[in-house]
Structure 1
Amino acid sequence: MRILLTAAPMYGHVLPLVPISWALRSAGHEVLLVAPGEFPDVAAGAGLPAAANAGGVSMGGMIGFERDGTPAARPADPEGRVRRSGRGFGRLAAHVLERTVRIAELWRPDLVVSEPTEYAGRLVAAHLGLPWVEHGWGLRLSGLYAEAAEQELAPELAALGLPGLPAPRLLLDPCPPRLQLPGVPAAPVRRVRYLPYNGPAPVPSWVHRPRERPRVCVTLGSAFPAVRSELLAALPEALHGAGVETVLATGDDAPAGPLPESVRAVGWLPLDTVLPACDLVVHHGGPGTAMTSLVHGLPQLVLPYYLSDTTVYAQRLAELGAGRWLPPERADAAGVADGVRALLADRGARGAAAGLAEEIAGLPSPAEAVPVLEDVVRKERAACVR
């Protein structure tokens, strides 16, 4: 069986497809992961065959500008921001569609698996008469994303003779049931365990050393660089005063100058190698960070900056008692330090996070999802014979 996997050009969209790809290859199937720009190299770093369906693509550009180059309006309301993002992912699909079709025609897959915001894969599947499966990364996305993408893709849909975006045959859902948002999914759901893959790197030696203070990991994503840099500059002293050891997993924007002895700036590191040695995570609300933190049973302090679906993760974790969140107007160094103190003292938060970790561990592994995907292809072939 040959499986074509498609993703948008962002780490949080490509990396969640790695574990199911490993499982498929281990079962003897062929996979090909397709994404724009440098992301085939990211997939190759995980040991996966990969191909580019476009050159380098800026998702900020796709979302921020219409096809004719004019700036896309910036709505103030949350629903408008979601629709703006959805149209941006629709423009991405239009941009990569021709090349994705060509790759699929040459490689001849039996099944297409796409992440939730990659829309070219599902169009290719419909065009070639193939089944496609959606592989989630956490909380179910608002239907407004696909609705807006479908509007943006009206010319491409018409050219392919499709009335709208096709529905998946199956949803692979890695979100623990208690965390998942309510609502009726667009297809049958198969639960699958969230298996973190955050990239390749050796495990640092300090991870295995005993810690004298509670250890807090701080990672703030790549959005709002000015706000993030200002906060990161003030956080080391504030968290030192809070009595914790801090791991700044913040890439190239770590604070300049000397840091308190309790603060370790580690640059970019795969979170799955760092979090087993931490007691708490402070982050921006990205799905990969939130889900990886839950796998390790860690309470989370989320600073979402009202970006995309990050606020949804922040609110959902707080509702379940596994974390707290600070709106942008309260997310200064003092507010973060206070939130860290409160969460470290909150036994209920630790218990709630541990409970969700147990729920994740009890879900079927990616390897157990492989026969389900095989069955999708088997049924498709039987239907074609009839």
Structure 2
Amino acid sequence: MRVLFLGAGSAATIYGLTPLATAARNAGHQVMMAAPRNVLPDIAALGLTPFSVTSTPIPHFRTRDRAGNPVTVPDNAVEGRLFTGGWFGRLAAASLEPLLELAEDWRPDLVVGGTLTYAAPLLAHRLQVPYVRHAWDIKDFDGIDPGADRELRPELDALGLDRLPDPDLFVDVSPPSLRPAGAPPAQLMRWTPVNQQREVEPWMYTRGERRRVVVTGGSRGLNFDFVKAMVEKVSALGVEVVVAAPEELAAKLRDQLDGVRAGWIPLDVVAPTSDLIVHHAGGVTSLTALHFGVPQLAVMESQDSASHGAALDRVADLGAGRTLYPAEFTAERVGAACRDLLENPSYVRQARALSEEMAALPSPSEVVGALERLVA
């Protein structure tokens, strides 16, 4: 069986798809992962075969329409979700022709697309093969798909479709307690943390004398000033601060902040030794914290990220973390939220309860059987 996985333009999307892709390969199937060229090194480093769908920088799709005209990020959540669907739709439109060319020589029996990789259902429909939608985090896509339908109207019309095709199977990595009301039927799968590795040092996998707080802006590092501000506000609590960030950003932090450990630190190694993870509302980071039963504080940098806040609000509602929206990003609020999360043991209990719930879900190797049945 040939299985084509489709990721998007950040390493996080690749990490989310890797456990199932690796399980399919280990089961003896041929596996290829297609994505924008900027993340091909991430795919290759994880031992999978990469294929480039576009060399256009990902920010281009977010900031420009198809004609190259500038677009503006909306300032409200509803329009923000439609906007997200729109720019992922533009990425899909640019990806479709290279994928069809690939399929002429390497025809997949099954297409597995990450949550917002809208080229996947279009390609599967053209090839008349099953399509699997694979959640790469806990963020729901309610209100996003219509933006992609609108952006991809030319492609849908050419295929005689009113909207994007529904998947033949939806693989969801959310524990049942975090699935939103009205969530579509799904094949649930255990979340497996994946990230790029480096040689570890003893302090990464052992606890020190002080409580440890990990601060991260994700695999891309995001805005330097945003990450620096989070580090400064957390450091004031007298805890050990570890910053997981790309080396370029980490070097700037080490130059400007004394006594802060910063660098490309594998989150799956340092998370089990941590008391709190403060992050940029990243879906992969959030799931990794939950996997290890660590409380979390999700800080929304912008309205664009806040449009995905509902999923992280559910984590907060279950008592496993807290969220702060852009207007709440002040030194006082961050400090108060971190103190609460560190001092109230109920957050640890709830985070560990979700961790146990996740551990009971089917493994990626078990879910490969569901893929095989689709093709059979």
- TM-score, with structure 1 as normaliser: 0.90
Given the superposition, is the C-alpha separation of residues 36 and 131 from structure 1 closer, same or farther in structure 2, using an over 3 Å criterion?
same
| Mapped pair 1:280 → 2:276 | yes
8 Å Cα contact 1:290-1:313 kept in structure 2: no
Indicate the residue corresponding to 2:156 in structure 1.
Answer: 157
| Alpha-carbon distance, 1:164 to partner | 2.3
Q: Which moved more, 1:188-197 or 1:289-298?
A: 188-197
Match of 1:206 among 203, 214, 224: 203
Name the SS of the counterpart of 1:144 in structure 2: coil
3-state SS, counterpart of residue 178 of structure 2: coil
Residue of structure 1 in register with 2:344 after alignment: 346
Task: Determine the C-alpha separation between the residues in 2 that align with 1:122 and 1:51.
Answer: 18
Trace 1:159-174 onto structure 2 (pairs within 5 A): 159-174=158-173
* Offset, 1:179: 1.0
1:312 shift after superposition:
2.2
Partners of 1:319 and 1:82 in 2: how far apart?
Answer: 22
Q: Does 1:244 align with 2:227?
A: no
The alpha-carbon deviation at position 27 of structure 1 amounts to: 0.8
CA shift, 1:341, in A, is 1.5
Question: Which of 322, 330, 333 is the aligned partner of 1:332?
Answer: 330
Unpaired runs of 5+ in structure 1?
379-386
The alignment status of 1:289 with 2:259, answered yes or no, reads no
Residue in structure 1 matched with residue 53 of structure 2 by the alignment: 53
Distance in 2 of aligned mates of 1:85 and 1:248? 28
Distance 1:33 1:136, change over 3 A: same
Distance in structure 2 (CA, Å) of the matches to 1:314 and 1:140: 8
Distance in 2 (CA, whole Å) between partners of 1:18 and 1:70 is 35
Checking the alignment, whether the CA contact within 8 Å between 2:275 and 2:295 is kept in structure 1 is yes
The question of whether the paired residues in 2 share the 8 Å contact of 1:303 and 1:314 is answered with no
SS at structure 2 position matched to 1:31: strand
Q: 1:270: which partner in 2?
A: 266
Contact 2:198 2:264 in 1 (8 A): no
Partner of 1:382: none
- Residue 22 in structure 1 maps to residue 22 in structure 2: yes
SS at match of 1:281: strand
1:39 and 2:39 equivalent?
Answer: yes
* Distance (Å, rounded) in 1 between the aligned partners of 2:53 and 2:234: 44
Distance 1:47 1:224, change over 3 A: closer
Structure 1 segment 1-386 matched on structure 2, within 5 A: 1-58=1-58, 60-139=59-138, 141-185=140-184, 188-221=185-218, 222=220, 225=223, 227-228=225-226, 231-232=229-230, 235-236=231-232, 238-251=233-246, 252-254=248-250, 255-257=253-255, 259-261=257-259, 263-265=260-262, 267-305=263-301, 306-308=303-305, 309-378=307-376
**Superposition RMSD in Å:** 1.9
Measured in 1, the distance between the counterparts of 2:133 and 2:285 equals 20
The amino acid across from 2:325 in the alignment is: P
- d(CA) in 1 for partners of 2:369, 2:169: 13
Is the partner of 1:212 in helix, strand or coil? Answer: coil
1:14 deviates by 1.6
1:248-296 deviations in Å (ceiling 9; x for gaps): 11333342536444x322x122311221111110011110000011001
Q: Is the 1:46–1:200 Cα contact (8 Å) retained in structure 2? A: no
CA drift of 1:205 comes to 2.1
Q: Are 2:292 and 2:355, in contact at CA under 8 Å, matched by a contact in 1? A: yes
8 Å CA contact 2:221, 2:245 repeated in 1: no
Structure 2 unmatched ranges of 5 or more: none
Greater CA deviation, 106-115 or 319-328? 319-328
One-letter code aligned to 1:155: P
Deviates further, 31-40 or 330-339: 330-339
The 2-side partners of 1:132 and 1:209 are apart by: 43
Greater shift after overlay, 219-228 or 134-143? 219-228
**2:172 and 2:188 in contact (8 A); partners too:** yes
- In 2, Cα distance between equivalents of 1:203 and 1:230: 24
Shift of 1:326: 2.2
Give the aligned residue type for 1:247. Answer: V
Q: Using the alignment, how far apart are the partners of 2:308 and 2:160 within structure 1?
A: 35
Q: For the residues of structure 1 that align with 2:56 and 2:66, how far apart are their CA atoms?
A: 16
- 2:261 is paired with a residue whose SS is strand
